Amino acid sequence: MNMQDTAAVADEAAAWVAQMDAEGWSDVNEAELGRWLSGDPRRRGALLQAQAAWIALDAPAGSGKIEVRLKRRTMLKVAGGALAASLAGGVFVLTRGTTYSTQLGEIRRVPLADGSSATINTASEVKVALAERRRMVTLTRGEAWFRVAKDPARPFVVEAGPVLVQAVGTAFSVRRRDHGADVLVTEGVVEVWTAQAAGYRTKLSAGQSAFVADNAAVELYEEKPSAVDRALAWRTGAIDLNGQTLSAAIGEFNRYNRRKLVLTDASLAAEQIDGLFRTDDPEGFARAIQSSFNVAIDTNDEQTIRIGANEK
C-alpha cells in the first residue's frame, strides 16, 4: 500500500481511540473494533500508537472534558503523518516482557500490546508478558485496574503473590496487601484462586469484590455500583470516602503522599468520614477533619501533618 493508505489507517485508529474514551462504549462497538482490526495487519499497531498518544495528551486537573477531547482529536490528527511513518517503518509500541512502575502519588495509564489497558495506582509495579497461549501480568506491589481485550484463546491472568485472577474479556482491579489481595470486578466475570489451591476457584462477577488470602481463604462482598465507583476513584486522582474510619482514611492518604498524616488523638480513630478529596491534598483533608470534629491540626512540619487535641 502507498503512504496515503497508511496515513488513512493512522487516522482511523485515532478516531477509534477518541470513540473509546467517550461515554457509551458497548459490546457492539467492541465487535466493530474487532472487525476493523482484523481487516489489516497494520491496524493493531496503529491503534496502540494512537492510544499511547491519547494518554500522553491527558490534560491537567480542572480542564473541561469537552475541551480536552477536542484538543486531543486535533493533536492526533496532526500526528497522523508521524504515526503513518512509524507504521511504514515497522515500529510497534508496548510489546511483551515490559515492566511498568509508578512513583509515590503517580497514577499511570498504559495500553498493552494485545489491545488491553492497565491503570496503575501509586507506588506500584506491573510486569507484562504476552505469550501465544496466555497473557500473564505480575503485580509485584501496589494496585492496578485492567480493561481486558477479549481473546478466548489467550486467558488474561494477573498474579499478585500466590493469588491469581483470570479473565478473558472484562474489567477488574487487583490490590496486593499483606497476606493476600483485594479483587474488585467492574465488568464481566473473573476467577480467583491461589497457587497452592488451583483446584478451588471462585467466580466473581461485576459488582462483586473479594479479599483472597495467601492461604486460599476467600472473603466475598457484594458492592453497589456507587461503592465500586468510590473504590476506584483513585483512577481520576481522588479519594472518595463514604463511612470509612478516620484511621483508614489517613492510611489511604499516606499511600499517595510523602508528607504523612499522623493521628495523635487515638479517640478519633474510629470516627467515620464522608467526602471526596484529591489524593495530593492531605492538608485539605486535615482541615476538613479540623472543621468537622473541632480538633487542632499542626501543619508546621514539612514532613507531617498532625491531627490531635481538641481546639480551645
Residue 232 phi, psi dihedral angles, 5° rounding: -105, 15
- Measured distance CA(67)–CA(77) in Å, rounded: 16
- At 187, is the pLDDT very low, low, confident or very high (cuts 50, 70, 90)? very high
**Residue 142, SS3 per DSSP:** coil
Q: Are 253 and 230 in contact (CB under 8 A)?
A: no
The answer to which of 1-5, 102-106, 130-134, 212-216 has the lowest mean pLDDT is: 1-5
Q: Does residue 192 surpass a pLDDT of 70? A: yes
Q: Which residues of 33-60 are buried (b: 16+ CB within 10 A; e: fewer)?
A: beebbeebebbbbbbbbbbbbbbebeee
Beta bridge partners of 179: none
- Measured distance CA(244)–CA(234) in Å, rounded: 15
From 134, 142, 79, 80, select the one nearest 105 (Cα to Cα): 142
CA distances from 165 to 49, 157, 160, 304 (A): 28, 6, 8, 37
Q: Does residue 60 surpass a pLDDT of 60? A: no
What percentage of residues in the chain have a pLDDT greater than 70?
Answer: 79
> What does the pLDDT read at residue 144?
98
Q: Measured over all CA atoms, what is the biggest interatomic distance in the chain, rounded to whole angstroms?
A: 78
Place of cell 500522553: 56
Q: What is the mean pLDDT of the chain?
A: 82
Beta bridge partners of 156: 135, 167
**DSSP code of residue 154:** S
Query: What is the pLDDT averaged over residues 108-136?
Result: 92
